[in-house]
């Protein structure tokens, strides 16, 4: 099958919109394969702007600032997929996207190295009190002393959240001669010589540096608060390059002022400005030995290229083959094209009897099914059907009338 024939809809009519200065790798991937109607914008759009912009869009690419609400999704009648060119997907109303049969992809592993490297660098800077010495030097004060400065070797790094970033950080820290302990709500296999802690209190009370790598959920909101900050080892350092709601910044500021903690590095905040140049405030501003960065943990050119390639490949595979591997809304299906058949994608509410209804309807009209694959999650059923070419248009129309159908797409 010719690569240029892997979609029944004219490629030049498929509208693709990328926001927030997504890597050119993503744009390049689609244009090289005949998709000419690609628009790339430098910033995020407001809800009202998005409602207008996505009206005829088939594929939408965003990063973390763009908020995909129910109103936005309701206005996007042609939208097939959303690519989140970042780790998280909390900026998308996933429940509504699932309900509307819109597949959402992200890049959960593409910037892990960038974040882990920066956490190591920050740890060294803070344990040596470089921010204080840097500020003094800029103010014309010579402050050459060893007091309060330490080596990383032999110190204990406590990692909260032992996922892709936390585990990579674990290996890098051990290479510097650090001891590593971690805490995770799920049982995780330790890498290297890392030791799992049974409680959060056990971890924070025995670690010299604590680094957070957890998602933003109801359970992790204010995970680090005034209560458990009291259990932190005296003079320890806190690093949050995870999510903004995870740390109570007022409580952290008090601990830093009181000397309970000797330093902190924070990259994510409960509230962040919409665009570069906007005013930004936090209770941590002006505090000694604190490094504040503007949500740039994964912002390296390498990471952005990796993310661009990863997410655009997932969008491309879904658009041309119906493959949903890596989707956070639709069940994962990965099937190669079938020669001599047309492929139809059927997304439906996951209730008993839908597959039987599909097969009954096609059988009644003597439509031969060359290949069929069903996979479900809690809410959605996803069927990929390869049917006889001569009757594929009729099959697609019949499938649209099957009860519980959300979306039907003739792929090729």
Residues noted as catalytic: 243, 272, 295
Say which residue the tokens 């059923």 belong to.
381
CA–CA separation, 100 vs 73, rounded Å? Answer: 8
DSSP summary character for residue 41: -
Q: Are 211 and 247 in contact (CB under 8 A)?
A: no
Of 260, 262, 242, the closest CA to residue 251 belongs to 260
Q: What are phi and psi of 20, to 5 degrees?
A: 60, 35
CB neighbours of 206 closer than 8 A, spacing ≥ 6?
A: 156, 158, 181, 197, 233
What are the structure tokens assigned to 85, written together?
């060119």
What are the structure tokens assigned to 178, written together?
């650090």
CB neighbours of 332 closer than 8 A, spacing ≥ 6?
A: 324, 325, 326, 375
HSE-up of residue 61 (Cα within 13 Å, Cβ side): 32
Burial of 68 from C-beta contacts in 10 A (0-12 / 13-18 / 19+): buried
CA–CA separation, 279 vs 272, rounded Å? Answer: 9
HSE-up of residue 341 (Cα within 13 Å, Cβ side): 19
Helix (H) or strand (E) holding 51: helix 47-53
Strands 38-40 and 81-84: unpaired
């Amino acid at each position: 099958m010719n690569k240029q024939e892997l979609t029944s809809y004219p490629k030049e009519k498929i509208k693709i919109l990328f926001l927030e200065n997504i890597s050119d790798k993503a744009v390049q991937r689609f244009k090289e394969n005949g998709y000419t109607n690609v628009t790339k914008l430098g910033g995020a759009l407001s809800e009202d702007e998005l409602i207008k912009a996505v009206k005829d869009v088939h594929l939408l690419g965003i990063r973390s600032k763009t908020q995909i609400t129910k109103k936005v999704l309701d206005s996007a009648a042609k939208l097939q997929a959303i690519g989140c060119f970042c780790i998280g997907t909390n900026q998308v109303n996933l429940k509504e996207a699932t309900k509307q049969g819109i597949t959402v992809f992200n890049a959960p592993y593409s910037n892990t190295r960038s974040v882990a490297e920066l956490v190591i660098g920050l740890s060294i800077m803070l344990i040596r009190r470089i921010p204080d010495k840097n500020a003094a030097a800029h103010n014309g004060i010579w402050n050459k002393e060893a007091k309060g400065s330490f080596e990383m070797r032999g110190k204990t790094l406590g990692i909260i959240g032992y996922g892709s970033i936390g585990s990579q950080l674990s290996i890098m820290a051990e290479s510097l001669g650090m001891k590593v302990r971690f805490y995770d709500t799920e049982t995780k296999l330790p890498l290297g010589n890392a030791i799992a802690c049974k409680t959060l209190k056990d971890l924070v009370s025995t670690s010299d540096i604590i680094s957070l790598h957890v998602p933003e959920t109801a359970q992790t909101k204010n995970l680090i608060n005034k209560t458990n900050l009291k259990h932190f080892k005296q003079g320890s350092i806190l690093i949050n390059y995870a999510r903004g709601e995870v740390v109570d910044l007022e409580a952290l500021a008090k601990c830093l002022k009181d000397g309970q903690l000797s330093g902190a590095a924070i990259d994510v905040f409960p509230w962040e400005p919409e665009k570069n140049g906007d005013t930004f405030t936090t209770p941590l501003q002006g505090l000694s030995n604190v490094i504040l960065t503007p949500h740039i943990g994964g912002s390296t050119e390498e990471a952005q290229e990796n993310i661009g390639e990863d997410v655009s490949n997932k969008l491309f595979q879904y658009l041309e083959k119906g493959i949903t591997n890596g989707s956070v809304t639709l069940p994962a299906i990965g099937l190669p094209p079938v020669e001599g058949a047309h492929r139809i994608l059927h997304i439906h509410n996951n209730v008993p009897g839908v597959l039987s209804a599909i097969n009954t309807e096609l059988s009644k009209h003597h439509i031969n099914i060359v290949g069929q694959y069903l996979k479900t999650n809690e809410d959605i059923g996803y069927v990929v059907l390869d049917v006889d070419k001569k009757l594929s248009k009729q099959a697609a129309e019949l499938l649209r009338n099957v009860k519980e159908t959300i979306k039907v797409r003739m792929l090729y």
